Chain A
Amino acid sequence: MAKTRAPLDTKEQPGFRGVALFCLFVLYAPILILMIFSFNSGSIVTHWEGVSLHWYGTAIANDDFHSAAKNTMIIAITATIVSTVTATLAAIGMTRVKPWKGLMTAFMVINLPLMVPEIVTAIATLSFFALVAGKLGINLGIGNLIIAHSVFCIPFAYMPIRARLEDMDLTLEQAAADLYATPWHAFRRVTLPLLVPGILSGMALAFIVSFDDFTITQLVAGPGQTTLPLYIWNQIRRPMTPEINAISTILLMVSIIVVAISFLIARKRR
């Protein structure tokens, strides 16, 4: 029987395997080493002494870690909700309307933050809050961070939701209207349920982006508003212990779990 293979199968190119393995190694070896050393019983990051959960215990008992984790979760969850709702409304408003003149501009305005260097956004955000605090005397504390995160998460949440809306068969909404569904009912019973996988991807993306943001948070955060990335950053300026590895590993696990859950729910609904 003849082999049914595409005429140009990249896998068959010479050196493919080597390049692929090298890329995977560069990407994942450092992470793997970081995770392995989080189970080190010794107190030096680069010197293996034995297997132990000691540093996880230390991390979990650490009050600073607790408060950083709490701040991170408050910010990330609030920002995820706010940005996903905003992004969903924006995506609907931009795909379910008659094309208008400013549509392309609006699309660019929403997505531009993805292209602006983050440090620029960070400094702009910092100046903005400084101005608001100076001129109006308003300082929302951790609210500043929540606002900043909500805003920069919007384009991340927006992309998968818009993609899903654009892929959706428009005749489904017409069919709903044809079957006596008012615009609200058509949205509630047809568009929204079909949009759920896109919304979940958007939420997961927004959560991850907020969860591990460093640059903007570093500039905007006031005293007592330390998040996990900031906490880790502060720790490595001191003599490092495997506690950092343990905390980083916990962070990584949270990310993986969030992505996996959203992926599984999205796949189940398909």
Chain B
Amino acid sequence: MRDEPDTSAIAIRQVSKVFGTGEDRVTALAEVEIDIRANEFFTLLGPSGCGKTTLLRLIAGFDYPTTGEIRLYGEDIARLPPYKRPINTVFQNYALFPHMTVGQNIGFGLEMLGRPKAETAARVDTMLKLVRMEELKNRKTSQISGGQQQRVALARALAPQPKVLLLDEPLSALDYKLRKEMQLELKRLQHETGITFIFVTHDQEEALTMSDRIAVMSKGHVLQIGSAHEIYDKPSERFVANFIGETNFLEGEVLAVDGASASVRLGAGATVSAGVPDGFAPKGRATVVIRPEHAEVVAPSGAEAFAGTVSNVVYFGTDTHYYVTLDGGEEFMVRRQNSRGAQVFDTGARVGVRVDDGAARVLRD
């Protein structure tokens, strides 16, 4: 799983963070291991309280880990103050300096680095152009909209050309349409600048659409790291499968394991071949997940994985959700695109449920 240390922009090594002492002890991060590659768009995804913001603050230097190392291209920076780290942050509330203009905000970092005035001025103009805000250079930050403040915050953090850019839920304050727009904008900026982005969010959709790789976190632990595809199609833990997208959980018994796949007899009747997480050898009882769009409702022929009765049909325009009560008693949801000519089933109809090859996964649990 782990990359060679030298290729990592940021290497989080055995990082723990404990707040408080005695009975008030709270472990915010427990021996976290993450490798973030250069030039990638990396997302820390998890519900509030999972430790993602704590980890971001440790990388920025606003707080120090209780134990462990944070390496920036091999150098341990875990104990350096924030102003000595070539890492910049886009804050959730933007934290623009209210007594400065847009231009002064953007130039602040370079000025603090002691760059020549002319260079700073030129760079500020380049950044304004990059975020398409040229005409607002001399405005006070209180005189611009939320979306514009967001762009200024981005430009300000990018201006000193940091090695890593941290983004702390920067889109959460924007309305839906603007958020969609800024997602594309962020991808474009990351691509154009080639800077490593570490993005924190609790929004799984945002994480899936923007990230090269995602680390899913819960209760101070990193549960799974992988591309959007891997996280979505091959969740290894119940929490990951549940947190990201919708899915069907089925209980079963492991009959045999053959490398990366296991044969599992499900309580619902069928025996399926299910993928297994790396380095995991399931035995005994196990939970299998199947995504709703990886299954199909068909007229029963006896050859399908499951048989059951349609208990509910919900129409969504682009697709339809079929809720099927399997003969074993479990609820199973199937999502089907509404293409022309697709057979329609009504509530109460007897159906078979066909499962795509390779769709089932055993959870590590």
Contacts and interface: CB of A to CB of B under 8 A. Distances in A.
A176 interface: yes
Interface in A176-200: 176-182, 185-186, 189-190, 193-194
B68 interface: no
A177 B82 contact: yes
A174 interface: yes
Given A178-B82, A179-B109, A193 B156 contact: no
B218 interface: no
Interface in A241-270: 269
Contact of B93 (A169, A178, A186, A269): A169
Nearest to A170: B95
B316 interface: no
Given A174-B62, A194-B99, A269-B99, A180 B112 contact: yes
A179 B99 contact: no
A90 to B, nearest CB: 23
B81 A179 contact: no
Contacts of B60: 174, 178
B150 interface: no
Interface string B87-123: 1110101011111000000001100110000000000
A10 interface: no
B245 to A, nearest CB: 33
Contacts of B96: 175
B160 interface: yes
A169 B156 contact: no
Given A182-B83, A185-B112, A190 B97 contact: yes
Given A174-B62, A269-B99, A181 B112 contact: yes
Contact of B98 (A182, A186, A194): A194
Contacts of B87: 178
Contacts of B88: 178-179
A179 B89 CA distance: 8
A171 interface: yes
Contacts of B89: 174-175, 178
Max count, chain B CB within 10 A of own CB: residue among A171, A182, A186: A171
A175 B98 contact: no
A179 B91 contact: no
Max count, chain B CB within 10 A of own CB: residue among A172, A178, A182, A185: A178
A190 B89 CA distance: 17
Interface in B53-107: 60-62, 81-83, 87-89, 91, 93, 95-99
A180 B60 CA distance: 11
Given A179-B160, A180-B160, A174 B108 contact: no
A175 B97 contact: yes
A70 B156 CA distance: 51
A101 to B, nearest CB: 14
A182 to B, nearest CB: 6
6 contacts: A171-B95, A172-B98, A175-B97, A179-B156, A179-B157, A269-B99
